[in-house]
Amino acid sequence: MSNYYKQPVTIFGIVIPCLFMVLLAVIALYMSSSTSAEYRKKKKGYDKAQLAIKQTMGLQEQVQKTKAYTKEWDYLLNTETRGTFLQHWQAAEEKFSGKELTKTSHNWINYSDGIGKGIDQPASQVNMSFSATYRAMQLALLEMETKLPNMQLDSLTITPDTNSDSINFETTFTVWTGN
Amino acid sequence: MIEAKHPSELNPLQTYMRAVKMAKTTSRLNNPAWYQDALDLEVQVHCYLKNAGDVECFLYIKSSNSFEKIDGLSPRQLQIADELKNFVDRVLECESVSKAKALGVVFYLADELSIAGLGPEHQNPGEINNLRNMMIEDPTEVLDDKTVSAETHAWRLFPYSGAPAGQEFATAMAVSRKYDDVLLTLREIGDSRNLPIKTCALSAPLCAIACLPWYTTAKDNGTIGVFNYETFTVVSFYNKRADLMMLRYLQHPPGSSDPVNIGPAVMASATAFELESPEIILLSMVGHDLSNMNISLQSSMVKSDIRLMSTATVLREMGLPEEISLEMMVATAELDQELYPVAQNATFTSFREEGWHLQDFLAPDQYELDMYPAQEDMNLLKRGRKVKCVAALLCLLVLGYAGFTSWEKTNSRAWTYKPQNTEVTALQLKEEIKRHEHWNSILMDRSKAWSSMELISRLTPADGSVILKDVKHRVDKKLAPKAKKYGLQKSWVVNGYTNDTGLRYLENISTRDGIKEIFETVAHETGSRAYLPNIGQRDITVQMTQRLNPTYNIISSTKASDRFRLVFTMTITQTFTSTDELALISMKKSKRR
């Protein structure tokens, strides 16, 4: 029996091809592993981005829903002044007779000593006195407070007018103003 | 065909490539016949070589144990390669071997034999197996005569199992190598046709010796076998157990078919082995008339029973064609030990088990064997292919898996995704939402004068049993410790007049449930959530005190209030905690300072 072939056949016929294939497999697995590692990194970033996009879309949806209000409020706070405030009152007063509603005085201060004090929003305060019937006063206040939602009542004193049938109303409002 | 270079001259890669080439271009990988002995193959050609005349050839089919005489070869044809090719063609054209996958060619060398003694240093029967190999590899080392040539003659060891102590336990037998080239040519024809042609050259006398059990039994006086060939006669001596004690080679004088003085020669040897009147069996293996030899033996061995045997009789009894030789029967037939008891002795057991009589004198030399991968190498190559296939499959699976997963990943949206800066947009949107939430919180309907007046109006019943004198309403912020938002506290201090009817009403609403019901009604009427009493931790308390109206005068009242018997003071307090939806965002600490 020849002894010349066994070793070459074992080495070249089995060992080297198997080693080559093992090497190929190892390289493939290594590359796959590298790709997987890179993929995990990218996936993490992608998921994060997707989450951010989803959140942004949620925010956009939220903003879309509130946009109209915000816009209106922005307009209100940017356009309303003390002058327009008085104009609104005058307009409200005009709907009633002098006997029904008369603003007797008003006084502005540039800050709020009531609700607006210590709040993270600029505000001023206005004291107003009226001589009016209960009904007229309530309607006028309803109109004004609806038109100007930035008015917050600090105090209201209702006392009878000893000289007439009217009622005296002392009001103090905090008026939120724009930044 | 034999490659030009011996594998020792090749590097391992070239050696491997040769093995692969052999596997691809020949049937060595799949046809095990390449590695079988000629006598193990299904189709065999048995050629009997004598000195005179043509070579007698018989086709033998192993599975059917049948012989068929075919055209023989002349001595001249033996030397011509093309004639040998034609011979092989003729054999393969026979109908019974048309699908043969291999051919065994067995030569029976009946034309010559040499016997020589072993060297004095090799007289230990325990070394017989070692000596057998040495006899093949280096006969001069073993033989007594150191002048013999291993190049011109092939030597084999042959044991004397029945040799008495002190006598030779084996002998060396030789045939010339003149048929080496013939057999090599036949093997090369097989190589060129990709058909295994396996050759074997047996010594006809050794086969003849092995056929003793077929025609005799052990005799107490021993047995002597006389085998007559063309130019020589071989005499074998067996003891009472029919174990072989010795062989004698007797050359015939030129032109004679008998050796000279065979009778005295046999008698001398029989006397030496103390065989008194042994049975003598005479066999002519080549068809000679042995009457002279018989006379010579009878005159020397007077008391012996001399049997002149005919090979045809033995073959006939075996059911074999009479024209084949007895040696062919020995080489192909199984010896039934029960039918032929002599076969159980040491000599014939060793023949059967170790094949001493079937030794191939002209076997391919090591150089020729080295040219081809062995069966183990081919099997290794075959297993290697399977291992490679499995490894390749696994490798493919791994590559496929790795490739697919990589492809899947690199083609995913995550892989190709290019990051977009959504942070700025998100920040802007959050800012927008924050602004909205801020405004929404700031502008909530938490403290309105008109809805407060609605509440005040609800405190008096419609029947005029209660009238109000004055009302003081205040809204104050309350900052709980650690709270980030301001809670609120609304208070209404109501002074008025009431009669007994009104008092019952006032007492009703001055309860927790009563005042909550009033607030609930106001909330529904005005749509202001600030008056909903049961949200979160809101709390509403009410306190009422009454006393007699000092100006009470129902008869001559000057003012409307004089007609009411009682004056009352009702204090309503509504509290919103910092967790309430109406709570106000406080200024940051730094700003507050």
Helix (H, G, I), strand (E, B) or coil at B559: coil
CATH for A82-176 (3.40.50.720, 3.30.70.60, 2.40.50.140, 3.30.43.10): 3.30.70.60
Q: What is the pLDDT of residues B461-496, one digit of tens each?
A: 999 999 999 999 999 998 888 888 899 999 999 999
A-chain residues near B398 (CB < 8 A): 24-25, 28-29
Does the CB of B302 have a partner CB in chain A at under 8 Å?
Answer: no
Q: What is the mean pLDDT of chain B?
A: 90
Beta strands B279-284 and B223-228 are parallel
What was the pLDDT predicted at A179? Answer: 65
Q: Which of B548, B535, B544 is nearest to B575 (CA)?
A: B535
Domain assignments of chain B as residue spans, ordered by start: 31-373, 374-410, 446-592
Q: How confident is the model at residue B587 (pLDDT cuts 50, 70, 90)?
A: low
Q: How confident is the model at residue B592 (pLDDT cuts 50, 70, 90)?
A: very low
Average pLDDT on B439-462 reads 91
Amino acid at residue number B516: K
Q: What is the pLDDT of residues B517-547, one digit of tens each?
A: 999 999 999 999 999 998 888 999 999 999 9
Scanning every residue of chain B, which has its alpha carbon at the shortest distance from the alpha carbon of A35? B406
Q: Which of B19, B377, B448 sits opposite A145 (nearest CB)?
A: B448
Domain assignments of chain A as residue spans, ordered by start: 1-79, 82-176
Q: What is the mean pLDDT of chain A?
A: 89
Q: How confident is the model at residue A1 (pLDDT cuts 50, 70, 90)?
A: low
For the four alpha carbons of B575, B579, B583 and B589, in that order, the dihedral sign comes to: positive
Average pLDDT on B181-202 reads 95
Cα B108 to Cα B206: distance, rounded to the nearest angstrom:
10
Q: Give the DSSP H/E element, type plus range, for residue B451.
A: helix B449-458
Average pLDDT on B24-47 reads 94
What was the pLDDT predicted at B17? Answer: 93
- Compute φ and ψ for B417, nearest 5 degrees: -70, 130
Q: Do A66 and B391 touch (CB under 8 A)?
A: no
Helix (H, G, I), strand (E, B) or coil at A114: coil
What was the pLDDT predicted at B187? Answer: 95
Scanning every residue of chain A, which has its alpha carbon at the shortest distance from the alpha carbon of B426? A56
Measured between CA atoms, how close is A58 to chain B, in angstroms?
A: 10
A-chain residues near B477 (CB < 8 A): 115, 117-118
Cα B293 to Cα B258: distance, rounded to the nearest angstrom:
7
pTM for the whole structure: 0.65
Q: How confident is the model at residue B323 (pLDDT cuts 50, 70, 90)?
A: confident
Q: Do B457 and A134 touch (CB under 8 A)?
A: yes
Cα A67 to Cα A65: distance, rounded to the nearest angstrom:
6
Q: Which of B8, B471, B585 sits opposite A119 (nearest CB)?
A: B585
- Compute φ and ψ for B508, nearest 5 degrees: -60, -45
SS (H, E, C) B401-429: HHHHHHHHHHCCHHHHCCCCCCHHHHHHH
Measured between CA atoms, how close is A125 to chain B, in angstroms?
A: 14
Does the CB of B486 have a partner CB in chain A at under 8 Å?
Answer: yes
Asked if residues B115 and B171 have their Cβ atoms less than 8 Å apart, the reply is: yes
Asked if residues B380 and A13 have their Cβ atoms less than 8 Å apart, the reply is: yes
Helix (H, G, I), strand (E, B) or coil at A132: strand
Measured between CA atoms, how close is B573 to chain A, in angstroms?
A: 14
Q: Do B377 and A2 touch (CB under 8 A)?
A: yes
Asked if residues A84 and A114 have their Cβ atoms less than 8 Å apart, the reply is: no
- Compute φ and ψ for A159, nearest 5 degrees: -135, 150
Average pLDDT on B219-243 reads 94
Inform me whether the pLDDT recorded for B98 exceeds 90.
no
What was the pLDDT predicted at B55? Answer: 92
Scanning every residue of chain A, which has its alpha carbon at the shortest distance from the alpha carbon of B365? A1
Asked if residues A125 and B475 have their Cβ atoms less than 8 Å apart, the reply is: no
Asked if residues A115 and A174 have their Cβ atoms less than 8 Å apart, the reply is: yes
Q: What is the pLDDT of residues B329-386, one digit of tens each?
A: 999 988 888 888 899 999 999 999 999 999 999 999 888 999 999 999 999 999 998 9
- What dihedral angle (degrees, nearest 10) is formed by the CA atoms of A40, A45, A51, A53? -140
What was the pLDDT predicted at B593? Answer: 38
Inform me whether the pLDDT recorded for B53 exceeds 80.
no
Average pLDDT on B20-25 reads 91
Scanning every residue of chain B, which has its alpha carbon at the shortest distance from the alpha carbon of A6? B377
Cα B527 to Cα B32: distance, rounded to the nearest angstrom:
105
What was the pLDDT predicted at B590? Answer: 45
Asked if this assembly's ipTM is beyond 0.85, the reply is: no
Q: What is the pLDDT of residues B120-140, one digit of tens each?
A: 899 888 899 999 999 998 899
The structure tokens 């030990």 sit at B337
What was the pLDDT predicted at B591? Answer: 45
